[in-house]
Copies of this chain bind each other. A is one copy, B any other.
Amino acid sequence: MRLALAQFNPTVGDLRSNTERILRFAERADRAGADLAVFPELAISGYPPLDLVETAGYLESNETHLRRLAAASVRLGTGLVVGYCGRDEESGDAANCLACVHRGEIVFRQRKVLLPTYDVFDESRYFVPGKRAGVWRFEKARIGLTICEDAWNDKQFWERSRYSRDPVEELASQGIDLLLNVSASPYHIGKREFRVEMLRAAALRHRVPAVLVNQVGGNDQLIFDGSSFALDESGTLRTRADSFREDLVLWDVAGDSDVPEGSWSSGEVFGEVDAVFDALVMGTRDYVTKCGFGKAIVGLSGGIDSALTVVLAAEALGAANVTGVGMPGPYSSEGSLTDARHTARALGIRFETIPIAPLYKAFEKQLAPLFAGTAPNIAEENLQARIRGNTLMALSNKFDGLVLTTGNKSELAVGYCTIYGDMCGGLAVISDVPKTLVYELAAVANRRRPNAIPESVLTKAPSAELRPDQKDSDSLPPYEVLDPILKLYVEENLSVSAIVEQLGEPLGLVREIARKVDRNEYKRQQAAPGLRVTSKAFGMGRRFPIAQRYVR
């Protein structure tokens, strides 16, 4: 049997267009002689649909489009497996479903059994679980069908199981010739290798070929990498689709097609930092275009964060669609504007300069009666950042480009950023990238766009340039110290004392960092959606109260 892994990029809620594009993929698979084309989880709906599931007509519209797809499939020899938002037939409640379609008919349906409800996933909010995973007889094969999480509970693979059931084991016990998993599994660092290892464990344990077809594309904060793959019954990787782009890959289940060379699981084609770069490019492109924009605006401070962000934007949207804006202020260094202009020139993007000093003076004058006799503090610093934010938003409102924010995860964690200032914008491109990883990504950027980020930007001490001779290190420890603390506190939820024990940093320092993270939750809850690349990003997958007083 020849399978087509149809790695497809849907737009959430655009049911008509998604369905038409699924059909185009199916036709390609048909022309390539595929017996079966497999699409991702919720392909018709796009994942995650969130509360759209509860709006009038959403499930009915999914069903209508599924039927249209089925009707159109009458022209094809290829069968289709496709995910959609459906219903539990008994209760009428929403369910995360797949349908098997062949020669004009919907021949099999199934609901997802295990519903992830943690981190960025809220499926128990929306769906009722299926009672069992089913074996679909197609041609002469017995195909075990699973939807994403259904294959994530192998009791031998996982140290700790989230669910009492293992649908893969239940399917295998019925006898299957092939295990299919249709997924919408978002990217984070290391996730691609992990998926292969996980499904390999199932293939080996049950001696069955296993195929995972994953959604690709950015949907708001989530980046789906695709990276679909096929394993034979000995767990050998037999084919794989690209990461971070649509793809259609064929695999003859019983055949002997070669293992593709240098796959990402071997780490040879490109490393994980390159993957993060590509993830951010795709995530930026998809967010901007799926929101109906074509252009982006980036404030260029001459620092490394905005330099990296604008390289990503130019890669995502094309140089002609990106404007860089230099906004030197009273405390900007001479080199900053030069460095900003350098990057803009290297990328070939438009660059505008709007000095903010006259605006800052106007505010100073207007506030003078109230501020008289007070010492300069954060108010004056934030004002500069907010004048810049206003300026960028004015350009956005006038010329219709989406402002991209340039803050990194380390800053956002400790609140070293100005709400309504440098946090202004529609998408936070690198808000899940720790500062130390920003430097690694800058190296990738300079490989992809030679010399886009000048050496001076890579080597100068990070500074917000909001008061004379300010350096990040005035307020924060070096990022090489800060980032490991943040990783343990934010991503692993450890206590202060456990972090001290693990890293050997001083208790007072770790306690101060933890306090900053907690106290700045209010800023993050008003942040632009940020692209997720780590296992725990600020945003939809991390939900803390603001007015709370727990001290870990």
Contact = CB atoms under 8 A, between A and B. Distances in A.
Interface in A254-289: 286-287
> Which residue, of A290, A391, A526, has the highest number of chain B Cβ atoms within 10 A?
A526
Nearest to A286: B547
A372 to B, nearest CB: 11
Contacts of A547: 11-12, 219-220, 286-287, 290-291
Interface stretch (A103-111, A175-183, A239-247, A381-389): A381-389
A544 B50 contact: yes
A525 interface: yes
Contacts of A447: none
Contact of A379 (B14, B397, B522): B397
Contact of A545 (B220, B356, B387, B525): B220
Interface string A535-552: 000001011111111101
Interface string A31-67: 0000000000000001011111011111001000000
A268 to B, nearest CB: 34
Contact of A387 (B390, B498, B528, B529): B390
A279 B383 CA distance: 34
A394 B48 contact: no
Contacts of A426: 522
B397 A522 contact: no
A420 interface: yes
Nearest to A367: B394
A149 to B, nearest CB: 14
Nearest to A527: B526
A52 B122 contact: no
A507 interface: no
Contacts of A540: 543
A338 interface: no
A125 interface: yes
Contacts of A527: 526
Interface string A374-412: 100111001100110111011101100000000000000
Contacts of A522: 291, 426
A262 to B, nearest CB: 33
> Which residue, of A363, A495, A498, has the highest number of chain B Cβ atoms within 10 A?
A363
Interface in A332-388: 352, 354-356, 358-359, 361-363, 365-367, 370-371, 374, 377-379, 382-383, 386-387
A456 interface: no
28 contacts: A50-B543, A50-B545, A51-B544, A52-B545, A52-B548, A57-B495, A58-B550, A122-B543, A124-B125, A290-B549, A291-B547, A352-B370, A358-B362, A358-B365, A358-B366, A359-B363, A359-B366, A366-B391, A367-B395, A370-B398, A371-B398, A377-B398, A382-B394, A383-B394, A387-B390, A393-B419, A420-B424, A525-B529
Contacts of A395: 367, 370, 379
A477 B546 CA distance: 36
Contacts of A124: 117, 124-125
Given A56-B493, A291-B522, A549 B397 contact: no
Please give me the 6 A-B residue pairs with the lowest Cβ-Cβ distance, nearest first. A13-B550, A379-B397, A290-B547, A56-B495, A362-B362, A13-B548
Contact of A374 (B52, B363, B365, B398): B398
A546 B286 CA distance: 12
A158 interface: no
